[in-house]
Structure 1
């Protein structure tokens, strides 16, 4: 997808790029806090299953489509299910890192804004994981769904009883979807290409994948989108610099009549 860039801004009006080492430490630190924080929600298995039943009932009350309708699309053959599992396992984190790196190098002001939004979203998600542990639909017998990662591979999770690297009872909200949606929004805001709206395919594909693989409920994505909306609302977007405003004014200014130019040249 074409992410057309604008001319680099020079001078004091240009946004200074944050120190690289500080940003690496900050992003890694936030990620580790989140990963270790999720572990605090482990050990609430019974509550997680009760909440799963509640979410399933809420979705039926709201007449949301069954997750099985999406999964059935992936189960026509082993290939689609395997591709979906691979997407779930390999795209989420690298795509978000690549997004932040590109913004850091090309759009420093947008990078600071996006990092703050992602930090707010992730922090809110951690709180919800702690207060509302939730078993994913692949673990809910009433859902009647297939654990596609276990059947078709690849799988990023081990048995819940022995998996010490991840908390599988933290389905709501889905950061797979929340981060993907922020990546799309961030690139749409930071670029000017007419094709930039195609970045919305990333969260759309992610939504199909997380639901179709039975790793998340529809409501996990809805709650993630709501939290992201709040994070965007409370985080100030990047301001236009003086240099950018000057270029915009030049584009909007009416052209000088040709006869005035000729008269000036004669004088």
Structure 2
């Protein structure tokens, strides 16, 4: 009797969200993701002439598409030194810590969502590193004739030095904006992984990030649009975990991985 009931009980037991991955392995994977992000942008240095040529093409395309002028956002931020300083500080200090805190929280509280988010970020980041090789792009703060100022250099704080001596980043890799792409993924991930009626407020993070990257003249609108498209394609392929009928009925909130093209990857 017991031998017959054990399999049934095992099947009735909710297929718990994917077990939390080993901490050391995940630390190395996430550290590797950030390292690839930094090193990949450095490897794509050079092509200064093409970067400025592409910048003019992007600027002209935005005007042809009747996108709002980046100047309007920057003018709003320049109404006071405090506001522009806060924008520069947000750009310099929120990007990496917010993404890392997001991954740590998911790892501790939503392991299945963590694996999903880590995969999405890895794919988007890797894909984003290809564009600077094929389409180097100078940011709008470097483009003459736009009326835009390099707010970080003037008002501080600045994370960039002169492009010729900046060995920590590639300043000619404006497209896509991973500042915005990562911020949007953080918001989407938290909206999907939580159930609070206030969870939609997480969308303020990418909204503020968008206004900051444009207002400080570090990115064009199109940089954020391309990042959004890349994230959208990735999310269409790599699906988040879903509730099962068993767990939904019990109200446990446990999740099972959604079957998808890449559901078994990266374990």
TM over 0.5: yes
Retained in 2: the 8 A contact 1:13–1:242?
A: no
Distance 2:176 2:145 in 1: 20
Which of 200, 203, 207 is residue 200 of structure 1 equivalent to? Answer: 203
Distance 2:40 2:80 in 1: 38
RMSD: 1.5
Aligned residues between the structures: 240
Q: What's 2:34 paired with?
A: 31
Retained in 2: the 8 A contact 1:134–1:171?
A: yes
Retained in 2: the 8 A contact 1:14–1:243?
A: no
Q: Given the alignment of the two structures, is residue 179 of structure 1 paired with residue 192 of structure 2, yes or no? A: no
Shift of 1:60: 0.4
Unaligned runs of 5+ in 1: 1-9, 250-267
> Which consecutive aligned stretches of 4+ in structure 1 deviate over 3 angstroms post-superposition?
none
Distance 2:240 2:23 in 1: 21
Q: What's 2:99 paired with?
A: 96
Moved more, 48-57 or 126-135: 126-135
Q: Given the alignment of the two structures, is residue 141 of structure 1 paired with residue 165 of structure 2, yes or no? A: no
Any idea what the Cα deviations from partners look like across 1:181-236, whole Å, max 9, x if unmatched? 00000000000000000000000000000000000000000000000001101102
Moved more, 233-242 or 115-124: 233-242
Moved more, 35-44 or 178-187: 35-44
Any idea what the Cα deviations from partners look like across 1:142-196, whole Å, max 9, x if unmatched? 2120100000000000000100011000000000100000000000000000000
Distance 1:158 1:14 in 2: 45
Shift of 1:11: 6.6
Shift of 1:30: 2.0
Unaligned runs of 5+ in 2: 1-12, 253-267
Larger radius of gyration: 1
Which of 73, 76, 95 is residue 73 of structure 1 equivalent to? Answer: 76
Shift of 1:12: 5.3
Retained in 2: the 8 A contact 1:38–1:130?
A: no
Moved more, 199-208 or 34-43: 34-43
Q: What's 2:262 paired with?
A: none
Sort the Cα spacing of 1:18 and 1:42 in 2 relative to 1 into closer, same or farther, 3 A: same
Distance 1:75 1:13 in 2: 51
Distance 1:68 1:192 in 2: 38
Distance 1:13 1:188 in 2: 20
Which of 16, 22, 26 is residue 25 of structure 2 equivalent to? Answer: 22
Q: What's 2:134 paired with?
A: 131
Distance 2:245 2:67 in 1: 47
Distance 2:248 2:97 in 1: 34
Q: What's 1:257 paired with?
A: none
